[in-house]
Structure 1
Amino acid sequence: MTDQTPPPAPDQRPDQTGRRRLLEALRKPSRRQTVVGLLLAAVGFAAVTQVTSYGVDDTYAGYREQALIDVLNGLAGTTRRAEAEVARLEATREELRDDSSSEQAALEQARREAETLQILAGVVPVTGPGIRVTITEETGQVDIDSMLDTVQEMRTAFAEAMQFNGQVRVVARTSFEDGVGGMYVDGTFLEPPYVLDVIGDPTTLHGGLTFPDGPIDQLEADGATVEVEELDSLDIESTVDPERLEFAQPDTR
């Protein structure tokens, strides 16, 4: 009779079976296990980040409510003071700009006035529109009074500069004297024809010569002929030396 005794069964202890399954799972993880692992890693990273964030932002965590209110009030006060300082500085900047503009305008006005005084005093050459008056003696000698009236009417017509014969600048203190065969203007002897160049508005200047019994009528009565040209540009290059004052001094008070 054949021996029917079965072979001994393998050791089936539970701890050996559990280890075998764990090793098999680690050697070859399933798709489900992979997904679960990734989710666990993500949750862990988020937890670490949150803890770090709390560690950075807890500066005022231990403050009482009133302390936090005081901090906020302090910040608000600092902000208001900073805004007030900015406003003050901006106002100061605008004032400085205004002062600078006013000073610049005053300097420009002073410069223009100085130039005007130099022109009227005859100490600088000038150029501009005006008229040229040519006076030619025909049958007699021109009277000095007629010549003075001519110059005065040109001043009344707002003449800005005058000169005779391209040599003598006419200013407020210019003198006229009779001479044999001519006349003296500021000590310089001039012979006819007398050429008076005048800078100013040509139309106004011309009108200052032609009114009834005016300069042209007087000169023609002296036996002279008068020719007037209106010019767009005249050059007056003669000048006078500045007058030295002996007694008057600027008042700087």
Structure 2
Amino acid sequence: MTMRFEELGWRDSPMGEISLRRRFDPEVRAEVYEVKLDDEFLMSSLFTVAERELSHLGLARVAADGDLDVIVGGLGLGYTALAALEDPRVRELQVVEYSEAVIDWHERDLLPDTVGLAADERVRLVCADFFAAAMSAEGFDPERPGRQYDAILLDIDHSPSRFLHSPHAAFYTEEGLRAMAAHLKPEGVFAIWSDDPPAPEFMTVLMGVFAGVKAKRVWFDNPYTGGRSSNTVYTAIRA
């Protein structure tokens, strides 16, 4: 018999209590895994199309032939990281996750769709503040300050104007993005997921820092509405 609801893990953080739960959803007749921050829903295993497309679209714009070093900002349920590993060019995937609890869920393989992700020899799960690292001179690798990457893929906040934590706002400015861009190789790619439609204001900010800025609306079926919903993936290239 399938359990209707089970809380698999939770832990306090400076942003609030983060928790993972599994429930049987009679609407879709399947088990659904969800992450919450206090009472706010962050992500669901029902809606993963755009999270995967973040990796597919971002890495598709990387011109290098192989041995890619990639940063993923935000581990979550793991779909963005898993999709990045589908690209045979990826040599190392460093996933920067703020919450120790989220890393622990993956190290214990609590999520069926991403079992083995933490054990993949190409993957490094790092507990750190993505935004602090991105805007620092040292960057994402304390052992190699100033190290540059082929791609930085970001899926943490709801959108560039709706933050999980107010200090994140500084990142979404030309100054913040320019500091992050210093950690990309020439012609390296920055890609970011958003829950909102393409925002002209953010496009303008991106174009002040990057070349080849694009915003693609990613559509997917929504069983709760009976229609379709969308997210946005922005991609941009360090000139």
- Pairwise same-fold verdict (TM > 0.5): no
TM normalised by structure 2 equals: 0.26
The structure carrying a bigger strand percent of its residues is 2
TM normalised by structure 1 equals: 0.25
The structure carrying a bigger helix percent of its residues is 1
Higher relative contact order (CA 8 A, sep 6+): 1
